[in-house]
Amino acid sequence: MMKELEKYDLIILLMAVALTCFGIVMVYSTSSVMATKKFHDGFYFLKHQGLFAIGGMFAMFCAMRFDYQGLRRFAVPLFMGCIVLLLMVFIPGIGVKAKGAARWIRLPGFNLQPSEFAKIALIIYMSYSLDKKQDQGKMKMFLSGFLPYMVILALMLGILLKQHDLGSALTMFFVAFMMLFIAGAQFRYILGFGILLVPFAWYFIVSEPYRWERIKAYLDPWQDPSGTGFQIIQSWIAVGTGGIFGQGLGESKQKLFYLPEAHTDFILAVTGEELGFVGIAVIASMFLLLVLRSIRVALYAEDSFGRFLAYGIAVLLGTEAFFNMAVVTGMVPTKGLALPFISYGGSSLIMTLFATGILLNVSSRMKGAP
């Protein structure tokens, strides 16, 4: 068994498994009291997350064993299928709404979040397309190397913003632009498009009162400490209370109905309260190591398709981890974005582990890596 595993990047595998196991522990720690009150079962979220982890590990194992070159023939169907899934959330009786957002599809015993699948589908499709255009020398041209991706990206972002899923939209935007930059697209096109988006972004923010309230809460949460500023203030209290070494695993007070979304978007805040600055630093270091090893896989990938896959997954994991930590610490305005491997949620965990499996498969065929 160890002989078989040696061909993969074992550090990436170890980080993925360790972060997933840590996430299961923290999901139980953050959710047991709420689960007891809401479902009369303190293990409700733990059991679900455990099942998600098993499914995710199976998906990772399958992706590890499946030759990533075979993803080429699925790139377009996967991408088109995810567009259909993203649109299905708006169909009454199929789509599920929560807190004003329509992001889920109702399945028996499980709500599917198509945006999590769309992130991976976008990376696979762009890797396939960028690889072809590398061979044809089209990446320096505006009409063939930049504009088509902006049309595709605009379509996906438009659907996500209609779902009120700003976190996923920003993640996909950043991943797509980084992949284009790495592939050799002209920087002036990327910069120009970014500048062009500024007035649209401003209109998007001010057109909905709740978005503008979030910006004001970010600038000064104490203006409305019991309203728009409540969540980030409670997050600060959790992290600050933890100090250097924390209050001890399971000893958080903020998870007792003070901190909203304690087991999902703000699970890191409770981690800080229970395990302190040391706990957060260890988690951040693990993500940093995971991203650096992913970049190493990209640098030594067998071909450009594998290289783009590895870079895209590295940017995805790094972006989601960074922005979740930035939200929890108040560095950026509050928005829904899970912490990879750790936050409660089936779609996120399964697809994150599946993406890690693709990355590991690419690592098994590296050339010239020290």
Residue 32 one-letter amino acid: S
Banded pLDDT at 257 (limits 50, 70, 90): confident
Q: pTM for this one? A: 0.94
| Separation between Cα atoms, residue 255 and residue 184, nearest integer Å | 46
Banded pLDDT at 1 (limits 50, 70, 90): low
pLDDT at 4 over 70: no
Could you report the per-residue pLDDT of 201-233, keeping only the tens digit for each?
A: 787 777 777 778 888 888 889 988 888 889 999
Could you report the per-residue pLDDT of 69-78, keeping only the tens digit for each?
A: 999 999 999 9
Q: Let me know if residue 84 belongs to a domain.
A: yes
Q: Let me know if residue 368 belongs to a domain.
A: no
| Separation between Cα atoms, residue 318 and residue 292, nearest integer Å | 9
Q: Let me know if residue 230 belongs to a domain.
A: yes
Could you report the per-residue pLDDT of 53-69, keeping only the tens digit for each?
A: 999 999 999 999 999 99
Q: Higher confidence at residue 356 or residue 100?
A: 356
| Separation between Cα atoms, residue 107 and residue 65, nearest integer Å | 28
Could you report the per-residue pLDDT of 21-42, keeping only the tens digit for each?
A: 999 999 999 999 999 999 999 9
How far is residue 301 from each of residues 254, 292, 364, 365, measured CA to CA in Å? 45, 14, 9, 7
Banded pLDDT at 306 (limits 50, 70, 90): very high
Q: Let me know if residue 244 belongs to a domain.
A: yes
DSSP 217-242: HHH-GGGSTTTTTHHHHHHHHHHHHH
Q: Let me know if residue 369 belongs to a domain.
A: no
pLDDT at 310 over 90: yes
Cβ neighbours of residue 35 under 8 Å, at least 6 residues apart? 41, 42, 43, 44, 45, 46
DSSP-assigned beta bridge partners for residue 98: 101
- Domain total in the chain: 1
User: Would you state the pLDDT for residue 100?
Assistant: 63
Q: Average pLDDT of 264-275?
A: 95
| Separation between Cα atoms, residue 68 and residue 56, nearest integer Å | 18
Q: Let me know if residue 91 belongs to a domain.
A: yes
| Separation between Cα atoms, residue 189 and residue 186, nearest integer Å | 5
Lowest mean pLDDT among 118-132, 136-150, 320-334, 356-370: 136-150
Could you report the per-residue pLDDT of 117-158, keeping only the tens digit for each?
A: 999 999 999 999 999 888 666 788 888 888 999 999 999 999
Q: Let me know if residue 147 belongs to a domain.
A: yes
Residue 342, classified by CB atoms within 10 Å of its CB into exposed (0-12), middle (13-18) or buried (19+), is buried
Q: In what order do the strands lie in the sheet with 110-112?
A: 95-98, 101-107, 110-112
> What percent of the chain lies above the pLDDT cut of 90?
66
Mean pLDDT of the chain: 91
Q: Higher confidence at residue 342 or residue 161?
A: 342
Structural domain boundaries enclosing 91: 2-363
User: Would you state the pLDDT for residue 51?
Assistant: 96
Q: What beta strand segments (E) does the chain contain?
A: 95-98, 101-107, 110-112
